[in-house]
Amino acid sequence: EQVENKTKGKLQKQICQVVLDHFEKQYTAELGDKWTSVRDVLTCPSCWQYAILLNKFSQSAELENTLCVEGYHPAFQGTLPYLPRSLKCYISRTPRRFPAQKHQTGKLKEYYLLNAASVLPVLALEVKDGEDVLDLCAAPGGKSITILQCAYPGQFHCNEYDDLRSRWLKQTMESFIPDPLVNLITVSKLDGRQIGDFKPELYDKVLVDAPCSNDRSWLFSSDTQQAKFRLVQRKELSSLQFQLLRSAIKALRPGGSLVYSTCTLSKAENSDVINLILKSCTNVMPVDISEMAKAVSQEFTFLSDTQQHELLVLPEKGKAWGPMYVAKLKKI
Ligand code: SAM
């Protein structure tokens, strides 16, 4: 049973045992020995690390100095031939706390805290200036603003089905992106499964950062009944993910590409979904992302036996990023 403890005046996260037992069984079968070290990180919030994504629209040399003094260094730099120079993401080798910035009307935020592995789906998407881009499941907007750090898309369409989260997405965009650019971004509240029919063959790039079992946060569910319910419902996620992918493929122009990502280790929501798509849609082919994985392998630990069009980031002490699954497909 989960109880929130008060230690030294701070609320401490408590592990939800039903979720841990469920993961223990599934991930021991899927990952073998590697699960033990992943579990040790996921169940230890004081080991978690946060990356700091700088906002190019509100640059601050002072902030970069502070980060360096506090032991952060720029990630990804000089490692990727196609890494956009405008993308600046700072990380540290050891867990540190950097305060999140509050929303202030009329003032753009200087940085966004995120899991460094969240940058990988965006890097894999390789958005170029002028390309039409759809972010199918966009709230709260971390990857949308990362895309805008990398390039200036032609059309940029960010979609989020959930009403409250869609408002959160809008607020993120307004906090990071200046006028008039922010007014050129379309934010919609559609069911992503239907966008392919509404907007067929309209986009060069589509990001499907799918709803999934969020391993990290599920382990700390505060409501055991809700956690049990989620675990039962979990089986239905792969069907939703499959439908979102099919819609994304419809929305892509021939020659365009999509990136699928989740923050779970679950094979059923990762490679099984991609394999089913590759089997059932004859108009898509896998895209090799192994060069990108190699280029960032200093900062991340990947599962070794994946195929070339996919990667799975395994959290490890000192590189506590992920879980994050990324796969790339191209429409023929
Ligand atoms: N990309 C976001 C980011 O980087 O900040 C995180 C996205 S989160 C993993 C998945 C999102 O998909 C959730 O906000 C969820 O509400 C949304 N979602 C769930 N079902 C959806 C659907 N049918 N169509 C579109 N979005 C959906």
Interval 307-326 mean pLDDT: 97
Cα–Cα distances (Å) from 302 to 25, 170, 220, 320, in that order, read 21, 33, 24, 12
Nearest to 134 by CA among 99, 178, 92, 185: 185
Answer yes or no: are the C-beta atoms of 75 and 91 closer than 8 Å. Answer: yes
- Complex ipTM, two decimals? 1.00
Pocket flag, ligand 1, residue 193 (CB < 6 Å): yes
pTM for the complete prediction? 0.96
- Please give the distance of CA 320 from its chain centroid, rounded to a whole number: 14
For residues 45 and 74, give the distance between their C-alpha atoms in angstroms, rounded to a whole number: 23
Q: pLDDT tens for residues 231-280?
A: 999 999 999 999 999 999 999 999 999 999 999 999 999 999 999 999 99
Q: What whole-number percentage of the chain has pLDDT above 70?
A: 95
Q: pLDDT tens for residues 61-90?
A: 999 999 999 999 999 876 667 688 899 999
Instruction: Say whether 250 sits in a helix, a strand or coil.
Output: helix
CA of 148 from ligand 1 middle (Å) equals 18
Pocket flag, ligand 1, residue 132 (CB < 6 Å): no
Q: Which atom of ligand 1 is nearest to the CA of 212?
A: 9
pLDDT above 90 for 123: yes
**What pLDDT was estimated at residue 76?**
83
pLDDT above 60 for 10: no
Diameter of the chain measured on Cα atoms: 58
Interval 279-303 mean pLDDT: 95
For residues 290 and 208, give the distance between their C-alpha atoms in angstroms, rounded to a whole number: 19
For residues 19 and 34, give the distance between their C-alpha atoms in angstroms, rounded to a whole number: 18
Interval 41-48 mean pLDDT: 95
